[in-house]
Amino acid sequence: MKTALATEKLRDFYKRHNRMPSYTEMARMFHYSSRGATYYLVSLLIKQGIIEKDETGKLLPRNLFSIPMYGIIKAGYPMPVDVQEDRQLNLHVLFKQVTQNSFALTVSGDSMMEEGINSGDIVFVSKDVTVKNGDIVAACVDGEWTVKYFQKQGENVSLVPANKRYPVMYPRETLEIGGVVTHVIRSYR
C-alpha cells in the first residue's frame, strides 16, 4: 500500500475516533492478513515522519495533519511571495498546548477586536498556563464571564479591553480566572 493512501486512511480514522488506530485496527483497515505487514507500514510511516511512537509504544500523529507552509504574505502593499514548498505546518504540534485542562469558548461581542478577536471566533483557554500581566484571559468578574487582558499592579487587578469604546473592568466583589487564551480560530465559511 502506498504511504499517501495509508496516510489518508489514518487521517479519516483519527477524525472519526479522535485517536490513532491500534495495530489490529490498522490490519483490518488496510486489509492485511499478517501483523508483519502492519508493522512494516508503521515503520515506513515513522521513517517518513508522518506518525511517531511515544515512550510506551503508543502511536501518535506527527505530521498526519500537516499543510504546506508557503512563506509570508503581506497584508499591506503586495509583494512577491517566496514559495517554500518543503516547509510544512504541523497542525497537531500547533495545538499541542491544548491539553485536558483546556476548553474552548465562542466569542460574542467586540471588546477584543483590536487584538484581532472578533465575535464568532473560537478561543482556546488553558488552565495549565500561569497568568501574567498582559495575558488574554477568560475571567469571571462579579459573576459575569468575559475575555480581556489581565493587568495586576500590587493588589489591584483590572481587565482591559482591546476596544477603546469599552471601559476597563475592576472587580467589585469576585474575580475568578478561568484560564489563559492560547489560540484563536476564525472560520470564514
Can you spell out the DSSP letters for 135-151? -EEEEEETTEEEEEEEE
Residue 178 grid coordinates: 478561568
Residues with active-site annotation: 111, 148
Residue 86 grid coordinates: 518543503
Contact at 8 Å (CB) between 141 and 160?
no
Burial 79-116 (b: 16+ CB within 10 A, else e): eeeeeeeeeeebeeeeeeebeeebeebebeeebbbebe
Q: Give strand pairing partners of 175.
A: 141
